Amino acid sequence: MDENERPIASAADDRTRRGRTIVIRCWPEHLPGEVPVLRGTIRDLSRSGHIAFEGLPALTTIIGHLLGELAVENHVPRPPLS
């Protein structure tokens, strides 16, 4: 089957194939007498609003959650737990 014979994808199929753009803004916050803290916001441009975070563990948790949602939307199987 060549390109001209392929069936046209439905709008739902097209939606799941689009890429998502995630914007991460982060900065170190220096407080007198304390260890600097990484703060910032994450925004998924396909949705509204920002998610604030404080610290690298929080950032990685949020990114993992967003990537997990993307995998579910695109029917990507999750790897087995070891």
pLDDT tens for 1-11 read: 555 565 555 55
Question: What's residue 56's pLDDT?
Answer: 92
Q: Among 15-19, 71-75, 78-82, which is the least confidently predicted range?
A: 15-19
pLDDT tens for 40-69 read: 999 988 777 889 999 999 999 999 888 887
Task: Work out the number of other CB atoms within 10 angstroms of the CB of residue 21.
Answer: 9
Name the H helices within 1-82.
11-17, 56-73
| Tokens, residue 2 | 């060549």
Average pLDDT, the chain: 78
| Contact status, residue 32 vs residue 56, Cβ threshold 8 Å | no
pTM for the whole structure: 0.60
